[in-house]
Structure 1
Amino acid sequence: MTPVGILLAAGRGRRFDPTGAASKLLQPLPGGELVVAASARVLLSSVDKVIAVVRPGDGGVGDCLRALGCIVTVCQDADSGMAASLVHALRHSLPEAPSWLIALGDMPHVRASTMLALRAALEQGAPIAVPVHAGQRGNPVGFGRVHLDALLALQGDQGARAILKAHPASVVPVDDPGIFSDIDTVADLLKTSTLA
């Protein structure tokens, strides 16, 4: 069965704009597409359903993602950390999800081929699937249902790192430097990218 896509797009992006006035997710990339739209588009192309998590008062992020075809859900306690958003999305995906492909809204340069390779690993039974490029792990990451209880118990801002450290993962080799490329600062946005 096809994994459910989860797009985490509920952060405030304080490193991008400490005042919180400008959302990094709604900034245009060099080609004109918004950061969050590019991130969502690639995930949408690889799975049948994407649940996107946004925060209250998201400035239009949710509207953008709905227009693309994501199922948008608002995490009221998103400010407590990434784990809250992830747990919120997981609960929203139950009971039918067999596995999850978890992507970040500020990583617009991940290639569709990477998403499809991770999907294939999950469909073949991998309990955890991680992309590796040039010997280094990146994002997004896939989790099988065997890890649901541990995922639902997550807290804080570390996401699923503790689970990744505690359990073996299926390595999915990819030719994709985009798995390391997120938009955290204005400088990241201004870089002319050849990753996509």
Structure 2
Amino acid sequence: MASVEDCVLVLLAAGRSSRFGDGNKLEAEFLGRPVGFHVVRALEDIPFRSRLVVRDGCSLDFASCGYTEIHNERQDLGMSESVKLGVAHAREMGAQSVLIALADMPRVTAAHIFRLFDAADSADAVVASSDGHEPRPPVLFGRARFDQLLSLTGDQGARALIAAGRHVVTSPAELIDIDTPEDLERIRQLVHAPERLVP
């Protein structure tokens, strides 16, 4: 089992929100707080070695929540650039593993994250979340995978690595990510959020 205390959390929050229309999806309200702060709150009591957020394009103050902010000024290079920035900083901090999570997944729970750690049994571990059909973030990578992560290119991120790794299944509702206004409205309806658009 991987040690939480030796792991650096890398939160990706640098998307351009191009499919969301006006405004930034991470700033949109969900259950009384910005979408981007839900995973922050859910994971706040997990004793990570450190917390990093790779960000740009939104006004949320992650530093006030204990995160070291890394600015991705090359969003045009795709998600892989954010992953590489986060992993490079984590390695400099002496991380034995990294947990990569997305700020646009507001229903991720700490209980699920601990299950990822339970399933990580070596330095070359890759443990991804799954809805039972498709693996996706959050994903835990052991230190032996850092060089591979640092060589990624394009917008596919670590998809091939994730597909070949171990998968921990959880409720599909926990792994919903928000890309469009319709996604946000669906998740509001799912949990009967007070800000949902009621006809």
Q: 1:6 is aligned with what amino acid?
A: V
State how many pairs are aligned: 184
Deviation at 1:176, TM superposition (A): 5.3
Counterpart for residue 11 of structure 1:
15
| Map 1:170-185 → 2, pairs under 5 A | 170-175=166-171, 177-179=173-175, 181-185=176-180
Deviation at 1:138, TM superposition (A): 3.2
Uncovered stretches (5+) of structure 1, i.e. residues with no partner:
none
Counterpart for residue 74 of structure 2:
77
Deviation at 1:43, TM superposition (A): 3.2
Deviations for 1:125-153, whole angstroms, at most 9, x for unmatched residues?
Answer: 36111223345433211111111111000
| Map 1:153-172 → 2, pairs under 5 A | 153-165=151-163, 168-172=164-168
Q: Is the 8 A contact 2:16 2:75 kept in 1?
A: no
Q: 2:14 is aligned with what amino acid?
A: A
Q: 2:165 is aligned with what amino acid?
A: A
Q: 1:129 is aligned with what amino acid?
A: V
How has the CA–CA distance of structure 1 residues 193 and 67 changed in structure 2, closer, same or farther, with 3 Å as cutoff? farther
Deviation at 1:86, TM superposition (A): 0.7
| Map 1:66-105 → 2, pairs under 5 A | 66-95=63-92, 96-105=94-103
Q: Is the 8 A contact 2:178 2:184 kept in 1?
A: yes
| Map 1:1-196 → 2, pairs under 5 A | 1-2=3-4, 3-17=7-21, 21-29=22-30, 31-48=31-48, 49-55=50-56, 58-61=57-60, 63=61, 65-95=62-92, 96-122=94-120, 124-125=121-122, 127-165=125-163, 168-175=164-171, 177-179=173-175, 181-191=176-186, 192-194=189-191
Q: Is the 8 A contact 1:114 1:176 kept in 2?
A: no
- Give the TM-score, by structure 2 length: 0.83
Uncovered stretches (5+) of structure 2, i.e. residues with no partner:
194-199
Structure 1 stretches of at least 4 aligned residues deviating more than 4 Å after TM superposition? none
Q: Is the 8 A contact 2:9 2:100 kept in 1?
A: yes
Deviations for 1:82-104, whole angstroms, at most 9, x for unmatched residues?
Answer: 00011011111123110111111
Report the identity percentage: 33
Deviation at 1:79, TM superposition (A): 2.7
Q: Is the 8 A contact 2:20 2:180 kept in 1?
A: yes
Deviations for 1:5-32, whole angstroms, at most 9, x for unmatched residues?
Answer: 1100001110001xxx501001110x21
Q: Is the 8 A contact 2:26 2:58 kept in 1?
A: no
Deviations for 1:116-174, whole angstroms, at most 9, x for unmatched residues?
Answer: 1112333x336111223345433211111111111000011111012234xx4223233
Deviations for 1:57-85, whole angstroms, at most 9, x for unmatched residues?
Answer: x2413x2x112211111122123210001
The CA RMSD over aligned residues, in Å, is: 2.1
Q: Is the 8 A contact 2:11 2:100 kept in 1?
A: yes
